[in-house]
Amino acid sequence: MGKIKGAIVINEERCKGCDLCAVACPLHLIAPSGKVNHRGYPYVVQDDAEGRCTGCTACAIVCPDGCISVYRVKSE
Amino acid sequence: MTRNEIIAPENLVYHKPTLMNDNHMHYCPGCSHGVVHKLVAEVIEEMGLTDHAVGISPVGCSVFAYNYIDIDWQEAAHGRAPAIATAIKRLWPDRLVFTYQGDGDLACIGTAETIHALNRGENITIIFINNAIYGMTGGQMAPTTLLGQKTSTCPYGRQADLHGYPLKITEIAATLEGTCYVTRQSVQTVAAIRKAKAAIRKAFENSMNGRGSNLVEIVSTCSSGWKLTPVEANKWMTEHMFPFYPLGDLKDTTIE
């Protein structure tokens, strides 16, 4: 059975750190980075060292600023 | 499979709509406007109306909507967006004409224009962002402010005997003969966002098919005006706004 693997790319300069994606992620893989971007907003990062992200797009759909691109692949 | 192998153009499943440009949005963090902008851009893209869409931007937080979505826009005087939309739709009947208004613009200063445009059955769509407060000017009481809700101009909470009752403009619109589709949606969860997108699409299709006027109310948050974090604002909206502004379709004449 194939396994679905996903990855997200967060546009850190566009992110405003509202944390809505962190709440929306069913696996709680997104968290504040503790850093701020050039506009002064604390941006979020995905912490997915184990590769658990499934690319469900929930984080990207709730993102008000369209910062998140989602990639998904079905591996054999 | 490594992360770098997954991030390839052929595996891209979701990204910012191409109609939305790279300008930084001036909205506060977590503002519902951004989500609704995305939905509008997605629906216009999916309907193939990129060159045939005209938006009317209001006065309010979304006054700069024309900076973010690459379609034709017309700025309207405060509250007069439905009147401008009427003119544009009558001059260009083949265009998708919609207004994008907040509650201060639509439900207060623009009540007359809104109700008459809807009652005339103009083939336009009104997207109504209801966050129960005047966001841009500093969180003053709006006609849609809930009873008991504290704002900068009613610091002890809105009182019915002093300030009157919150105005349910969508319920009024549902009673008008000219309206085709009147609905109230929200954008606080993924499921709600999908429903809101379907509602916006249906409203746009109705206005292109000449079925009458359409009103899509989006119950939204104003984390700055409510003095809450975006996550808390979503919770507050679910607990306090939804009992008074219940979600769902209020009128749909396309279903016989």
Cβ distance B103 to B167 under 8 Å?
A: no
Q: Where are the domains of chain B?
A: 26-252
Residue whose C-alpha is closest to residue B119's, from B11, B14, B215: B215
Cβ distance B185 to B127 under 8 Å?
A: no
What distance in Å separates the CA atoms of residue B192 and residue B182, rounded to the nearest whole number? 16
Which pair of structure tokens corresponds to residue B125? 């769509």
Q: What pLDDT score does A1 carry?
A: 59
Complex ipTM, two decimals? 0.94
Partner-chain contact A66 B20, CB within 8 Å: yes
Q: Would you call B229 exposed, middle or buried from its count of C-beta atoms within 10 A (0-12, 13-18, 19+)?
A: middle
Partner-chain contact B7 A64, CB within 8 Å: no
Q: How far is B37 from chain A, CA to nearest CA, in Å?
A: 8
| Full set of structural domains in chain A with CATH | 3-75 (3.30.70.20)
| Residues 6+ away with beta carbon under 8 Å from B100 | B36, B40, B55, B56, B57, B58, B62, B65, B81, B127, B129
Partner-chain contact B11 A9, CB within 8 Å: no
pLDDT, tens digit, 9 for 90 and up, residues B107-144: 999 999 999 999 999 999 999 999 999 999 999 999 99
Beta bridge mates, B127: B100, B216
Under the phi-then-psi rule, with left for phi > 0, alpha for psi from -120 to 50, and beta for the rest, what region is B189?
beta
> How is domain B26-252 classified at the CATH fold level?
Rossmann fold (3.40.50)
Partner-chain contact A69 B34, CB within 8 Å: no
Distances (CA, A) of A10 to A15, A49, A71, B160, B187: 8, 16, 11, 46, 21
pLDDT, tens digit, 9 for 90 and up, residues A13-30: 999 999 999 999 999 999
A19, A23, A71: residue with CB nearest B6? A71
Kind of pairing between the strands at B248-252 and B179-186: antiparallel
Partner-chain contact B193 A61, CB within 8 Å: yes
Q: Which of residues 25 through 84 in chain B touch A, CB cutoff 8 A?
A: 25, 27-35, 38
Q: How far is A49 from chain B, CA to nearest CA, in Å?
A: 10
Touching check for B14 and chain A: CB below 8 Å? yes
pLDDT, tens digit, 9 for 90 and up, residues B74-111: 999 999 999 999 999 999 999 999 999 999 999 999 99
Cβ distance B68 to B25 under 8 Å?
A: yes
In chain B, which residues have pLDDT < 70? 256
B14, B27, B231: residue with CB nearest A20? B231
Partner-chain contact B193 A58, CB within 8 Å: no
Beta bridge mates, A9: A69
What distance in Å separates the CA atoms of residue B167 and residue B170, rounded to the nearest whole number? 9
A interface with B, Cβ–Cβ below 8 Å: 5-7, 9, 14, 16-20, 23-24, 39, 41, 48, 51, 55, 57-58, 60-73, 75
Q: Which residue of A has its CA nearest to B37?
A: A64
